[in-house]
Each structure stands twice: as structure tokens, then as C-alpha cells.
Amino acid sequence: AVGLGTAVMGCRVEFFTDLPTTNGEAKKLALAGSPEGTVVVAESQSGGKGRMDRVWFSPPAKGLWFTIVLRPQVNLVETPQITMVVAVAVALAVREHTGVAVGIKWPNDLLMEDKKLCGILVELNAEMDRVNFMVAGIGLNVNIDKSQFPPELSEIATSLKIAAGHHIPRVPLFRTILQSFEIWYRRWLQEGFVPILNKWRELCVTLDCPVTVHNIKDSYIGHAMDVDETGALLVKLPDGTIQRLVAGEVSLRKV
Ligand code: ATP
């Protein structure tokens, strides 16, 4: 795409001052036939969402709040893998561009020193057993100061500015992220999930460590061992049994 240094990602960029959510707008565009690589960017989101409809704080001009439309020709069972493709691509782009050593927290967050820097929310639209489209939403805290986070986030969230110690111009970073995503997405389509998973393991900071697992019913502690070939997390419980956790159902805390 012109000025972005990519072939597909960002072939069309739709910019908005404010949106309820960039995922919502991207879904509308995708339903209307927008091609793969269409990107929806907003300066702020009034109703930014994380998983399970949790609120995502998206103040004006302080972050990269955007969504990419994807139309991968893959089986439905493979679609959850895209969250990990995005996590790897964004983590590597941020590291390369800013030197901030971000890590991945299973399944969908990027952390810096145990604080959340970026959230990823992928949504699927499928008909019968065919993928119609997916939207990959990325919310990256770029220039938010510590004092600008709402009180409930001030101890659990961070930004690149806080981590790097200086303001980070957003446009070159946006370009680096799209370029990185294009490389990793293509790799996923061509070589499958194994190279993604290998890189993801290297970047993950919630493996081989004690964790608390919260699900709808209860919470318990265990030891995060590894991810299996589908990306599910394997947690060893105190009684020695291994639990297989699928993204979307549970939240994880390092202990
Ligand atoms: P958990 O961290 O419990 O696993 P999750 O991965 O499901 O949650 P998301 O649904 O991706 O988290 O994100 C929503 C949560 O992230 C909110 O409940 C809030 O705690 C936190 N949050 C909201 N906005 C931001 C932000 N801009 N930066 C960092 N954290 C945020």
C-alpha cells in the first residue's frame, strides 16, 4: 500500500476521529465487501472492547486503536491461531521499533513488566463451515502517561511512553506493525502454525510459571507448562493433573 511499505495490509485505510469500536466498523466494511488488508483506525474509541465485552480504555491521540480485515482460506478450527499470529507480529514490531522488551501473556495480551500494554481481539464471521472474514483488533497504548490512566488501570496498565521514557510518534510505529503483520500472516498461510507457535513460545512470559486461572465458575492455581499444537494452554494442577485451557473462557494471572 502506498506509503506503508506493504502489499496487502493497509491497501485501504479508513480513518475516523471517534468510533464506538474499530472492530464494529471493520465488520460493517467487511460485510459490504471490503478486501483483505482493509484497516480501520480511530483516534479514540467510545466503546472499546476487550474479551467478554470488557471495556478497553482508548483515549484520543494516545494509542493505536485499529482493526484489520482478513479473509484467510483456512479451516474453521485453525481460526483461533490468528490471535497468536497478531501477538507475535505486534510484539516483534514493537521490540524492533522501540526497543521495549514486550512479552506475550496467553492468550491475547502484550505485557511490559507484568503490566498490560496491548490487547488483541479477533472476531470471526463464518457461514456454515467456511470463513467469510475475520477482524483483528489491536489496542496499543502508545503515549498514555501514568496519570492519564483511570484509577482502576493505573497499577495494571502501561504504555510505550512509560516503558521507553519518551514520546513515540505513532505513524512510523503503525507502519512497522502492518509490515510485521504482513510477514507473519503470510508465513502462517504458507508454512502453517508451527513457526508461529515457536516464535510465540519465545516471546511468552506466562510459560513455566505459577498462574491463577479465573473462569466463570471459580478460580484456581496451577503451573503453566506449555501450549499444545492448537495454542491451548496446558496447566498442571496441584494434584498433578493437566488442564487444557482454550482461549475465550479464562483469564490468567501470574502469581
Ligand atoms: P485478563 O487480563 O483478565 O486476561 P483479558 O485478557 O480478557 O483479561 P481483555 O478483555 O483483553 O483482557 O481486556 C480488557 C481488560 O483490560 C479490562 O477489563 C481492563 O482491566 C484492562 N484494560 C482496559 N483498557 C486497557 C488499556 N488501555 N490498557 C491496558 N489495560 C486495559
CATH code (residue 233): 2.30.30.100
On whether both 143 and 184 belong to a single domain, the answer is yes
ipTM: 0.95
How far apart are the C-alpha atoms of 67 and 84, rounded to whole Å?
15
In a domain, 195, yes or no: yes
**pLDDT at residue 6 greater than cutoff 80:** yes
**pLDDT at residue 26 greater than cutoff 80:** yes
Ligand 1 environment, Cβ below 6 A: 50-51, 54-57, 108-109, 116, 119, 139, 141, 153, 157, 251-252
In a domain, 1, yes or no: no
Using CA positions, which residue lies closest to atom 21 of ligand 1? Answer: 56
In a domain, 5, yes or no: no
User: Which structural domain, as residue segments, surrounds residue 189?
Assistant: 12-203
In a domain, 44, yes or no: yes
Judge contact between 119 and 139, C-beta under 8 A. Answer: yes
On whether both 125 and 228 belong to a single domain, the answer is no
Which is the closest atom of ligand 1 to the Cα of 121? 11
Cα-to-chain-centroid distance, residue 118: 7
In a domain, 2, yes or no: no
Provide the pLDDT confidence category of residue 234 given band limits of 50, 70 and 90.
Answer: very high
On whether both 172 and 76 belong to a single domain, the answer is yes
Domain end residue (candidates: 188, 203, 218): 203
pTM to 2 decimals?
0.96
The per-residue pLDDT for range 132-148, each reduced to its tens digit, is: 999 999 999 999 999 99
Using CA positions, which residue lies closest to atom 7 of ligand 1? Answer: 51
**Among 236, 61, 68, 212, which Cα is nearest to 137's?**
68
**Domain tally for the chain?**
2
How far apart are the C-alpha atoms of 149 and 159, rounded to whole Å?
10
On whether both 130 and 216 belong to a single domain, the answer is no
Which is the closest atom of ligand 1 to the Cα of 108? 6
pLDDT of residue 136: 97
